[in-house]
């Protein structure tokens, strides 16, 4: 397949890891649609994508709302005239334990993290299966699918579900040329992690390297990841050089998780 004009949807692509992936795929010439809840952030992101590729578009959609998820998929098809590659990424689930998380926290996280992934990838899989071009579906999850950290309980539960959906989909799309994979990140310098570093700087008077070092505890590389490093992995996964890679989860965390996979 000619990857230079691929039609790609990156959900949650206005900032952070999603944006880094959208940028990296745009550099290869992909036509990219991104989504997020904030039009102004989407506009900024799209402007940067357009400096790399001939086509980029942002759609305001809240992944925790089913109607928005359906609208996002339909509108993406209208804009791109098809879909070769779906990158499923989203926002953060609330921190908390079984004691502190409310039913509302669970319900919202279920909709935003798990059901949006199910609905989008089901629609994409149908479409890709019906075409003879194949395609790629990549889910972003977390190393928490391997290591059950207490405070990320709800995120880990939903992400474990996504890993199962991915495995199921890889099997059920057998013979269609569609590959389905999962990327499980450790700590990256985006979103909530960046805010945590900045909080440590303000509240504990640490400089940035020390605050980052605190977050990167027990990371053999001694630092957290840069979003571009994760984007490079995703570009490889959806590229032709990874054509035998399917139905798997790749951890990218600088070596910090203790599980041998
Ligand atoms: N960064 C890490 O270290 C790390 C590690 C493991 C897993 N992850 C997971 O990777 C994903 C991305 O993380 P990140 O650090 O890149 O986050 P981020 O910098 O906060 O970016 C999140 C992106 O998703 C969008 N978004 C958030 N909630 C949304 C919603 N309900 N509907 C639609 N779009 C939404 C945001 O735009 P708007 O806010 O404008 O909607 C933004 O574009 C998250 O699910 C996170 O849990 C991150």
Ligand 1 pocket, Cβ-based, cut-off 6 angstroms: 12-18, 35-38, 41, 61-64, 89-92, 112, 140, 142, 155, 185, 187-188, 190-191, 193
For residue 216, is pLDDT > 90?
no
Least confident of 10-14, 72-76, 207-211: 207-211
- Give the CA distances from residue 24 to residues 49, 81, 97, in Å, rounded to whole numbers and listed in that order: 9, 21, 36
Which conformational region is residue 260 in: left (phi greater than 0), alpha (psi within -120 to 50 degrees), or beta?
beta
Q: What is the mean pLDDT of residues 135-144?
A: 96
For residues 193-215, average pLDDT: 90
pLDDT confidence bin for 192, thresholds 50/70/90: confident
Percent of the chain scoring above 90 in pLDDT: 84
Q: What is the mean pLDDT of the chain?
A: 94
| pLDDT at residue 3, as a whole number | 62
User: Which atom of ligand 1 is nearest the CA belonging to 18?
Assistant: 16
pLDDT at 114 over 80: yes
Å from CA of 175 to ligand 1 middle: 32
Distance 174 CA to ligand 1 centre (A): 30
Ligand 1: nearest atom to the Cα of 20: 16
Task: Supply φ then ψ for residue 72, to 5 degrees.
Answer: -60, -45
- Sheet with strand 56-60: strands edge to edge: 56-60, 31-36, 7-10, 85-88, 135-140, 178-185, 249-252
What is the predicted pLDDT for the residue at 258? 84
Q: How far, in Å, from the CA of 92 to the mean position of ligand 1? A: 5
For ligand 1, the distance from its centroid to the CA atom of residue 185, given in whole angstroms, is 12
* Ligand 1 nearest atom to the CA of residue 17, by list position: 16
Choose among 228, 241, 246: nearest CA to 20.
228
Q: Which pLDDT value is given to residue 215?
A: 86
- Give me the percent of the chain exceeding a pLDDT of 70: 98
* 182 exposure class (CB count in 10 Å sphere: 0-12, 13-18, 19+): buried
What integer pLDDT is reported at residue 32 of this predicted model? 98
The Cα–Cα gap between 234 and 10 comes to 11
Task: List, in sequence order, every residue forming a beta bridge with 118; answer none if it has no partner.
Answer: none
Out of 36-40, 150-154, 224-228, pick the least confident: 150-154
Burial annotation 220-239 (CB, 10 A radius, 16+ → b, else e): eeeebbebeebbebbbebbb
CA-to-CA dists, residue 121 to 4, 116, 154, angstroms: 22, 8, 21
DSSP state of 115: I
- Statement: residue 189 has pLDDT above 80: yes
Reported confidence tier of residue 254, pLDDT bands at 50, 70, 90 = very high
Asked whether 160 and 198 are in contact (CB, 8 A), the reply is no
Lowest mean pLDDT among 123-127, 185-189, 195-199: 195-199
Domains in the chain, start-ordered, CATH in brackets?
Answer: 3-186+226-251 (3.40.50.720), 189-224 (no CATH)
Give, for ligand 1, the residue of 36, 105, 197 to mutate: max count of ligand atoms closer than 8 Å to Cβ: 36
**218 vs 205: which has the higher pLDDT:** 205
Choose the weakest-confidence range: 37-46, 130-139, 147-156. 147-156
Please give the pLDDT value at position 39.
98
Structure tokens at 143: 């190393």
């Amino acid at each position: 397949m000619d990857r230079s004009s691929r039609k790609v949807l990156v959900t949650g692509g206005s900032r952070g890891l999603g944006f880094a992936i959208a940028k990296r795929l745009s550099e290869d010439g992909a036509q990219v649609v991104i989504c997020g809840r904030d039009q102004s952030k989407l506009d900024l992101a799209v402007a940067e994508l357009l400096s790399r590729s001939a086509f980029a578009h942002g759609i305001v959609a809240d992944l925790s709302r089913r109607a928005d998820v359906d609208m996002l998929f339909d509108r993406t098809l209208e804009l791109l005239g098809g879909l070769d590659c779906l990158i499923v990424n989203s926002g953060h689930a609330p921190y908390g334990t079984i004691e502190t998380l409310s039913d509302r926290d669970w319900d919202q996280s279920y909709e935003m993290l798990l059901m949006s992934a199910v609905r989008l990838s089901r629609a994409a899989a149908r479409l890709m299966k019906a075409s003879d071009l194949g395609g790629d579906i990549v889910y972003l999850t977390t190393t928490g699918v391997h290591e059950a950290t207490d405070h990320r309980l709800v995120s880990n539960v939903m992400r474990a579900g996504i890993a199962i959906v991915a495995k199921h989909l890889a099997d059920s799309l057998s013979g269609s040329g569609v590959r389905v994979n999962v990327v499980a990140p450790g700590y990256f310098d985006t979103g909530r992690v960046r805010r945590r570093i900045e909080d440590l700087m303000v509240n504990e008077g640490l400089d940035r390297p020390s605050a980052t070092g605190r977050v990167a505890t027990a990371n053999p590389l001694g630092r957290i990841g840069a979003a571009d490093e994760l984007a490079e992995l995703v570009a490889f996964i959806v590229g032709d050089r990874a054509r035998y890679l399917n139905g798997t989860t790749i951890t990218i965390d600088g070596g910090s998780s203790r599980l041998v996979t």
